[in-house]
Structure 1
Amino acid sequence: MDLPHHWRLLALLACANVLCQDYPEEVPPPPPDYADPYAAYPLRCAPECSCPPSHPYAMYCNDRKLTSVPAVPRHIRHLYAQANAIEGLTAAPFANASALTDVNLGHNRLRSPLVDRKALAGLTSLLHLHLDHNELEEVPPSLPKSLQRLFLGSNKISKLSADDLHGLADVAVLDLCNNRLTDVKGKALVVMKGLMQVSLCGNKLRSMPSELPGSLLQLSVDHNAISSIPDGYFRKTPNLMSLRASYNKLTDVPYELFNLSSLLELNLGHNQLSSTFYVPRALQHLYLNDNEFHDVNISLMCPSVNRDNPNLLTYIRIDNNRLKRALDNYVYACFPRINTIFYGEQKAEKREEAEKVEKRSQWSSSEETSPLAGQRRVNVCSVKTPAEESPCSHGGEGFKYRF
């Protein structure tokens, strides 16, 4: 049916209105937010390194004979550049690397004169920094305040001051083992308010650090030349849980030096100690091996017995001393949870055995002997308790421990 002319005109106008109405322009999606850990980052990587899709935030540059740090893309959070030949650091490779949280530059050839003062200052998100096994002579300056773990072991650092560690209040773990420190004076460590674990092993320390932060939980000063520890030294570290001071030159310690309510592990092996000291109630592992003890006075170690709040000691290692007899049976009343007393071999036994071997060699100098002549199988619990009990299993099954 033909429509009147005016109706046809109205229909055309209606169609024109639909087809020509103004639609909003299509807006492209925003670029990915690189601060968002779940954003879909483009897979960019330094050509010298590897960035596997399975670890999109990591860049692996380790063991590639690099002499400098490659430019780090913006999205990278973990940089592994250890085991190279890198001698210096500048800020240039890290210009866009503000997202970095972990940097490993260990086992390189870093030297302090070639490390720019601001090389790492811009890494405001950095939490863990490995600079161990290099040739650094001092702590790198202007380290990020965000750091929580700092590894500087096996370098050539010979001095440590509060200025070196200023601003690192959040560092919880500090490793300075195997350097050339002769002392740690002043407030070098106290400025690190959050420090919980410090390792100073393998240096040339002649005395303990002047001051320790109250937050400290674990202290390692083994393999040094420390000859004494002042009375009351640990009063400002009431939360200390582990002290390792083996391989030093300690000859005596104050009786109540280790009277700490949180101390669980105490290692004083390989010193020259001969006097008994107070053992705190919470202590579980005690190492006195390779000292000069002729006797161990249990009554001094444990002056009282409290059945409701017993001592928690479970393990004593006392081999390679000068003991002539086993510990008194009172040790089991005083330390009811003890399950291992490691006597091993004593120095007196070694001397007597050496004399026997020498006599045997004189008697049989003209005879053909076995390759094992003059040797004997050593029982790790060679000193028996008076009750003929095995001192390595009293009170229950002994736990396995690696030495």
Structure 2
Amino acid sequence: MGILSHLLILHLLWTASVFCQYEDYDFEDEYGGEPDHQLPYYFNPNTQAEVPRFPFPVECAKECFCPPPFPLSMYCDHRKLKTIPNIPNHVQQLYLQNNNIEAVPAGPFTNVTFIREINLSYNNIKFHMIDHGVFAKLSNLVQLHLQHNELEEFPFPLPSSLERLLLGFNKISQLPGKALEGLPNMTVLDLCNNLLDDSVFKEKPFSNMKNLMQLNLCNNKLQTMPPDLPPSLRHLSLENNSISHIPENYFNRLPQIIALRMSHNNLQNVPHNTFNLPNLLELNLGHNKLKQVFYIPRSLQHLYIEDNEIENINVTVMCPTLDPLNIKQLTYIRVDQNKLTSPI
């Protein structure tokens, strides 16, 4: 029994290691920084495609690995692949990250019906090498990873089922209005580390994304705040741009904002009540050119205003009356690297 017990433990540890290696995408892993309180992402079990019964062992591409504990997943990552292998019909999760893939042809996806997640990050894919409509035909696709590639354009069309689209670390410079049409289920859109400038806002690309909760536009070439964002938004990332001004009442149409990150911009002054948002938990305005403080809501827990040009912090003006019953009030604040001349 002792040997059998040891073998069982080793099997469980191996299973856990495989599962943990392919945990869901974490924004913090890519961009660092403090936790942003975002809720973990889970597939909605009520919307999963029902996969027909199939015999064991399941079919698997010879270039890949299909572990018995996870028969709906096919792991083809870190294998120096130059092409996408044929994908069996039953696969729901496809992992192709960290290869040398340059094209996404329609062929390998011909019989794919149930796929819900595709990870093609860390490859060499260019927009013109993606067969037109190859993703749009995948009617159950929920999550698509294309970060760290060579995309010059937004990869559309996409299926209406899509909920999370990760396009960070590419060379995208344009967002045609039609590119984001027909995506009513999109909740997370990551466009950090691209070449986007203010011209992309002319067609109001985000205005019809009624369920969008997280928008990442950090490390681009923006000079103004993105207009016409949907009121569903909760996380907005604009770090490392050249934004110098926040229009008064800008956030009136975004009452659900939980986390706002605007460090490393050119902000000098913000209207006093700009951040009077009832649900705001994290506000990061570090590494700007702010000279005065502003009102912060009672809900705020983390505040970053380091490396600015603030000379005086008047707490009675900045903070609301403390509520002894609210144990979630401001717990972390950074004010270092300013020009403070008197104690807070």
TM-score class, shorter:
0.7 to 0.9
State the partner residue of 1:261.
Answer: 278
Match of 1:152 among 144, 167, 186: 167
In structure 2, the residue corresponding to 1:180 is in which secondary structure? coil
State the partner residue of 1:396.
Answer: none
State the partner residue of 2:93.
Answer: 78
Which structure has more relative contact order (CA 8 Å, sep 6+)? It is: 2
Over 3 Å counting, the alpha-carbon distance change for 1:305 and 1:66 in structure 2 is closer
State the partner residue of 1:39.
Answer: 53
State the partner residue of 1:105.
Answer: 120
Please say if 1:205 is aligned against 2:219.
Answer: no
Work out whether residues 59 and 78 of structure 1, in 8 Å CA contact, stay in contact via their aligned partners in 2. yes
Task: Output the CA distance in 1 between the equivalents of 2:288 and 2:50.
Answer: 54
Over 3 Å counting, the alpha-carbon distance change for 1:298 and 1:57 in structure 2 is same
State the partner residue of 1:293.
Answer: 310
State the partner residue of 1:351.
Answer: none
Q: Show the 5 A alignment for 1:109-120.
A: 109-120=124-135
State the partner residue of 1:188.
Answer: 205
Task: Output the CA distance in 1 between the equivalents of 2:140 and 2:64.
Answer: 22
> What letter matches 2:117 in structure 1?
D
Match of 2:186 among 160, 164, 171: 171
Q: Show the 5 A alignment for 1:1-400.
A: 36-37=50-51, 39-42=53-56, 43-183=58-198, 184-185=200-201, 186-302=203-319, 304=321, 312-327=329-344
In structure 1, the residue corresponding to 2:128 is in which secondary structure? helix
Number of equivalent positions: 293
In structure 2, the residue corresponding to 1:234 is in which secondary structure? helix
State the partner residue of 2:45.
Answer: none
Instruction: Provide TM-score, normalisation by structure 2.
Output: 0.81
The two structures, once aligned, show a CA RMSD in angstroms of 1.7
Task: Output the CA distance in 2 between the equivalents of 1:288 and 1:41.
Answer: 58
Instruction: Provide TM-score, normalisation by structure 1.
Output: 0.70
Uncovered stretches (5+) of structure 1, i.e. residues with no partner: 1-34, 328-403
Work out whether residues 51 and 90 of structure 2, in 8 Å CA contact, stay in contact via their aligned partners in 1. no
Task: Output the CA distance in 1 between the equivalents of 2:52 and 2:90.
Answer: 11
Over 3 Å counting, the alpha-carbon distance change for 1:232 and 1:310 in structure 2 is farther
> What letter matches 1:47 in structure 2?
K
Task: Output the CA distance in 2 between the equivalents of 1:120 and 1:114.
Answer: 13
Task: Output the CA distance in 2 between the equivalents of 1:309 and 1:296.
Answer: 23
Uncovered stretches (5+) of structure 2, i.e. residues with no partner: 1-48
Over 3 Å counting, the alpha-carbon distance change for 1:124 and 1:316 in structure 2 is same
What's the CA shift string for 1:95-132, capped at 9, x where partnerless? 11111011000001110111121111211111110000
Identity %: 49
Work out whether residues 298 and 320 of structure 2, in 8 Å CA contact, stay in contact via their aligned partners in 1. no
Task: Output the CA distance in 1 between the equivalents of 2:184 and 2:224.
Answer: 24
